[in-house]
Structure 1
Amino acid sequence: MTHGRTRFIIGFLAFPVLLYLVYVISPYAQAFYIAMTNWRGVNANPQFVGLENFRRLLDDAVFWKAVWHNLLLLILLPVGTITIALFFAYLLNVGGEGRGVGGIRGSGFYKVVFFFPQVLAVAIIAVLFQQVFRPDRGGMLNGPLMALGLEPIGFLSNPDIALWSVLGVLIWQAVGFYVVLFSAGMASIPKEMYEAAQIDGAGRAAMFFRVTLPLLWDTVQVGWVYLGIAALDVFAVVWVMTAEQGGPDHSTTVIAAEIYRNAFDYFKFGYASAMGVVLFFFTIGFAVLALRLSRRERIEY
């Protein structure tokens, strides 16, 4: 019986595992190999250069600037998005008026409104915010300022604030999904726990930190990992929205943008693959570290 079950399991999994090896593991292996060559995308027999591409990365100031920008986004995007999403989700689900615990009136409609950016392609969002940040009277933000006689703000042309503008767009685009995700998690928390906390004299803030957040921690943990991975892969917004695809003066460039630029503008596919390998280990390392640091005893209810 055991032998037959083993054969069934192997036969059932063989094809999916084969597909995974061919379409996932194989490209990774090829990328690692290309990273140790000087392949330019057209030469059929690239020269093997070992770790030379990785050594060049150590002296590449633009690459390290991109790494720094990714690290900033890695911290600020999850913190900003989760904080805002938790606030709105708690308001929608627990912030109703009157006695008892309930959501505000029309919470379902507000969830749809919050979720709306998720149905837009990232490139479309980038184009929309290009218009929002325009430095003339046609800009949604600068138009009113100029009408009041104030100087326009170079949201995407000022190197000191361009990255913050990109961060604002990323948070705006992501918040809606996590509002809905956290709302679903809060809806599964028994109302009796909130009612017991109210009887003990807990206010809304105390209920959030002592009831909602501990019981929602697993969902927050998953959201943190997803947002961290998204922060390491913000190519589309940066490439479409910013000046010079990562400018001005590389003030908004990220690793993914430098990979694309080196591969398809400079035809340095080996060097770009080395950047990709570094990004791969950054992503894996972040996911492992985030899961370990945020791990806590599971609360059953």
Structure 2
Amino acid sequence: MSVSCGVGRTVGRRQHDEKRNKLIHPSPFGILMRDDAHLMRLLARLRFRHLQMLVALRDCVTLSAAASQMNLSQSALSKMLHEVETAFGFALFERAPKGLVPTERGALVMQLATWMLNELGHATEQLAREAQHSILRLGTPPFIAQAHLPPVIEHLLLHHPCELRLTESGVPRLFDLLQQGRLDALLTSLPSRSTLQRAGVQAQALFTSAMTVIAPRHHALATARPARFAELRAERWIVPAESTLGRSAFEDMFRRAGVFAPDRLVISNSPATNVELVAAGVGLSFVPSLSLARATSATRVREVTLEAPLPASTVALVYRRESDAIQWLRDSIQAQAGDS
């Protein structure tokens, strides 16, 4: 008889414990199907700070430790707890010698609060990732921006939900911004392997960019006769600032010919402006061929024939990590290359 009663008590206790566990460890969807669904509705009315307080009290056990974790005074935290318990209509914690112990229904509230905080955190992270993927922070030298980017950007924004933030500057500064995480990618001349390794970035060659020497329409060098670099050096030149892609290409042009670069310079970083200055007779310039083709004053300048042809520059996509926006940009560049 005693054994029978013992088994009965054991079974009864197990059933009670299982029922209690179902209350204390429910799934979010199971909760909404029970009579305690009103707890979820009450929790939904609480502020984010109240949810944090409930979890902090559960984890820290004492009011003083929870108050310290939340950077609140103990009296302020005690007042918040009283407001929440009043809203629920029952006590969430029992006051014990060693601290606060959740009541049975309080434990359920703690679990709901924890789940809601986790869901809010996940939603915030997901929104942040989506925002990061939909915003492309692109850096490029002005020579590439003006010559190649307009149709690429048109294609990108037409086919993809992307917000583009464009930064035009010299290559060294652009690399600094990329390494600092303030840019997602660069469109620039293909860097050396050692430069990529030092910066900890990746690069993919995408297309080549041809450069052209131009002079005013009636200039003595604007003829079919190939111009010698010694003649070119004697002219005034309109060139980009130092440490820019265009300036490096300009100096390399003379260096390959074994001639010092010209020192009579007008500094201007805009290819479109440089074409206008050449048309006005200010001097010679060195611009992307596409910039010349699109310039409004193209008919007022002439291409200068050189004694040695200029090699085309390889333009690369340089980036820290892959993303949807990076792939969209790559697709748009390749689509424009296929159309040209």
TM-score bucket (shorter structure): under 0.3
User: Which is greater in Rg?
Assistant: 2
Structure with the largest fraction of helix: 1
Scaled by the length of structure 1, the TM-score of the pair is 0.22
Structure with the largest fraction of strand: 2
Scaled by the length of structure 2, the TM-score of the pair is 0.20
